[in-house]
Structure 1
Amino acid sequence: MKVLLADDHPLFVEGLKNLLLSRGIEVTGTAGDGLEALEKARTTRPEVILMDIAMPRCNGVEALRLIKRELPEIKIVMMTSIDDDENLFNAIKSGASGYLLKSLHPEELFSLLAELERGEIPLSGGLAARILHAVACEPDNARPEHKLSPRQKKVLGMVARGMTYKEVAAALNLRERTIKYHMERIQELLQLENRTQLIAYAAQNGFDRSW
């Protein structure tokens, strides 16, 4: 895993860098604000950016939007010491691949990074439930279920219950790439930004229990 660090606190960055290096994770560089993070992302092409929310010149959420617009393949995980629902939801809506609190234990960090490598969404404890609540309370989230076909609803429900695309494909006697296509189409129809929002929508609307 190649990781770029973006944070305006040098002591924290240096400590995190050394921690990652000790586990064999390559650190492609560091940035002290969002604009520098964008420049470093362009030049070093990391797989993952661990980025603080509160930074000068360009904060983490703004930088997240800029980087995802230009380099959508990079996974960006927000890290913050402030447990704030607005920042959390704005980051997820803007395409963040995860959201971690800086107070987490080092072993938890590596466990969550392993989840990210497996294509999952790393979230510090308790944040998933709050994302669900925030998504449910968004007026724009009231999207009619009739947009989805019965097959799409079934696929979404099975994924929401924690099944992998491979497991869903086997259960429905379909190809794994067909399941991936269904999920991409569902995301498009519901006008959601990422898999985190899809799972939250599914749970809120009972797809994980009914399909």
Structure 2
Amino acid sequence: MKMKLMLVDDHPLFLEGLQYLLGTHGIEVAGIANNGQEALQKARIIRPDIILMDIKMPVFSGLDALKLISAEMPNIRIVMLTTSEENEDLFDAIKYGASGYLLKNTSAKELVDMLSDIEKGEVPLSPGLAARLLKEFKTSHQSYGKPHKHSQDHTNRGSLTERHIEILEMVAKGITYKEVGEKIGLSERTVKYHMERILELLQLENRAQVIAYASRMGLLDK
């Protein structure tokens, strides 16, 4: 797997171990930083494809660095790799543009597979976290009632086929592309093609935004 990867964590021993594990799977680490400020400085020089970054760090936290790097270098995909299971950290990370949120108890194989998923445009989330996002969006949706559907939502949804909406509903509920394909009789590759078209039509970028859109449109209530 060829990608420019940067690791950011304030624990040197963890960084060394992670770099070694990734190396055994053919993934080269292009740079390492020990806090958010150093991550911003090195990202400007290295321009990595993906950054794996902790949240709780000195100087700049991972969330502070996420906001700054995403604003300045939006093409870099940043995945939070942390021990924090706090809902606030999860929701803030997604809100600030994280491309994924993984816990440090993730196995090496799972991490490598998820890095591959990021390359394909997916948003990796540790088990159980997708369900929390769904619950948060649904709670917000119910707390404020049915929000006014913007004209853009109406227009773009009108461009979706029934098949698109069917796939959108399942993906928003956390069902994998492979499982979606098995349910509706399509290959995983075809489902991915449909999702790319859905994201294009709705002007969305990732699975987290799909969940938010589906909640806003009431698709999660079905």
TM over 0.5: yes
Aligned counterpart, 1:86: 88
- 1:65-101: per-residue Cα shift (whole Å, max 9, x none)? 0000000000000011121110000000000000000
Does the CA-based 8 Å contact 1:6-1:50 persist in structure 2?
yes
| Counterpart pick for 1:182 among 196, 201, 207 | 201
Q: Which moved more, 1:18-27 or 1:197-206?
A: 197-206
Does the CA-based 8 Å contact 1:7-1:52 persist in structure 2?
yes
Output the CA distance in 2 between the equivalents of 1:30 and 1:63.
Answer: 14
Amino acid at match of 2:71: R
Does the CA-based 8 Å contact 1:53-1:79 persist in structure 2?
yes
1:11 CA displacement: 0.4
1:135 CA displacement: 2.4
Does the CA-based 8 Å contact 1:135-1:141 persist in structure 2?
no
Aligned counterpart, 1:145: 149
Does the CA-based 8 Å contact 1:158-1:208 persist in structure 2?
no
Output the CA distance in 2 between the equivalents of 1:180 and 1:129.
Answer: 21
Output the CA distance in 2 between the equivalents of 1:140 and 1:75.
Answer: 32
The verdict on how the C-alpha distance between 1:93 and 1:152 changes in structure 2, with shifts beyond 3 A counting, is: farther
Aligned counterpart, 2:183: none
1:112 CA displacement: 1.3
1:136 CA displacement: 2.8
Aligned counterpart, 1:172: none
SS in structure 1 at match of 2:75: coil
Structure 1 alignment gaps of length 5 or more: 170-175, 188-192
Does the CA-based 8 Å contact 2:85-2:103 persist in structure 1?
yes
| Counterpart pick for 1:121 among 118, 123, 141 | 123
Does the CA-based 8 Å contact 1:6-1:49 persist in structure 2?
yes
Give the TM-score of the pair, scaled to structure 2.
Answer: 0.77
Amino acid at match of 2:209: Q
Amino acid at match of 1:33: N
Amino acid at match of 2:17: G
The verdict on how the C-alpha distance between 1:209 and 1:161 changes in structure 2, with shifts beyond 3 A counting, is: farther
Aligned counterpart, 2:22: 20
Please show how residues 189-204 of structure 1 align to structure 2 within 5 Å: 194-202=206-214
The verdict on how the C-alpha distance between 1:25 and 1:54 changes in structure 2, with shifts beyond 3 A counting, is: same
Runs of 4+ aligned residues of structure 1 deviating over 2 Å after TM superposition are: 135-147, 152-169, 197-201, 203-210
Q: Count the aligned residue pairs.
A: 195
Cα RMSD of the aligned pairs, angstroms, is 2.7
The verdict on how the C-alpha distance between 1:205 and 1:199 changes in structure 2, with shifts beyond 3 A counting, is: same
Please show how residues 158-173 of structure 1 align to structure 2 within 5 Å: 158-162=167-171, 164=191, 166-167=193-194
Amino acid at match of 1:27: V
Does the CA-based 8 Å contact 1:82-1:101 persist in structure 2?
yes
- 1:182-203: per-residue Cα shift (whole Å, max 9, x none)? 221xx5xxxxx85413224415
Structure 2 alignment gaps of length 5 or more: 172-176, 178-190
Does the CA-based 8 Å contact 2:40-2:68 persist in structure 1?
yes
State the percentage of identical aligned residues: 45
